[in-house]
Amino acid sequence: MDAARPAATGARAAPVVFLTGASSGIGEALARHYAAEGATLGLVARRAAQLDALAASLPGQHFTFAADVRDAAALQAAAESFMQQTGVPDIVIGNAGVSVGTLTGEQEDLPAFETVFDINVLGLVRTFAPFVKPMQARRSGALVGIASVAGIRGLPGAGAYCASKSAAITYLESLRVELRGSGVKVQTICPGYIDTPMTAINPYPMPFLLSADEAAPRFARVIARGTSYAVVPWQMGVVARLLRLLPDAVFDFAFAKAGRKPRGTL
């Protein structure tokens, strides 16, 4: 629903936020959190009906864009439309992501590998690209990428997802250094286990599981602080660091028979 940006009240204007993957899970929770704070939102997702229903349920006035992060032209058009109506956003959150079990030895899983990388890695590039130069010109703004602790070490049956999130972490690090001194912050958030439709099918224990509504304000605090890299919840950050320190032989033995996400199509 398109409308003019509401007037800000108080000493500090509420932020303008552009958010992908907004129709469910973490994205929906972030939308609800920022809307409650008075933000003006640009909400992007593939599912137009769910996106419009979300926007209609939020306080304030917001903009919706039915677009796939695999479509660079659609994202460019959404970004330009949003900026024409609100100005350059304060925060751009690349949240769209997918996960599915994959096995390299199964030829029919190749399309799933391609889709996961296209959305989880190149989707970030396509999301941020329209905003980099406008933010540089203004000398402010935050580009926030939602990665995952799954990018810290590779897990069996999750080669596509783990590798894509590892690539996302490295891409965001490169972009952060690239934009150093420009006034534009690049922030990486690595969620642990968050209770969303994506994790609902996981057939294994998920320690330190958070609901999306619990996770969203924690993400927002990380963004507000300008932290360059954070794991949410922090306990999973400790686990991830310990896993990174394990010798390969120990890690391989411990996780060779770990539970695996079901394979499927995307």
- Residue 64 phi/psi, 5-degree rounding, is -120, 145
Distance, in Å, from the CA atom of 72 to the CA atom of 44, rounded to the nearest integer, reads 13
Q: In a 3-state reduction of DSSP, which class is residue 36?
A: helix
User: Contact, 234 vs 83, CB < 8 A?
Assistant: no
Q: Where are the beta strands (DSSP E) in the chain?
A: 16-20, 40-45, 63-66, 91-94, 142-146, 185-191, 194-195, 210-211, 229-232
Catalytic annotation on 161?
yes
Point out which residues pair with 189 in neighbouring strands.
146, 230
Q: At 12, phi and psi to the nearest 5?
A: -125, 125
Q: Which of 34, 161, 171, 193 is catalytic?
A: 161
Tell me which DSSP letter residue 262 carries. Answer: P
| Helix, strand, coil share of the chain (percent; to 5) | 45, 15, 35
34 close to 219: Cβ distance less than 8 angstroms: no
Instruction: Give yes or no for a contact between 218 and 208, defined as CB atoms under 8 angstroms apart.
Output: no
CA distance to 74, 85, 101, 153, 239, per residue, from 251 (Å): 42, 51, 20, 9, 13
In eight-state DSSP terms, residue 40 is: E
Helices (DSSP H) in 58-158: which residue ranges? 72-86, 110-117, 123-138
Residues labelled as active-site residues: 161
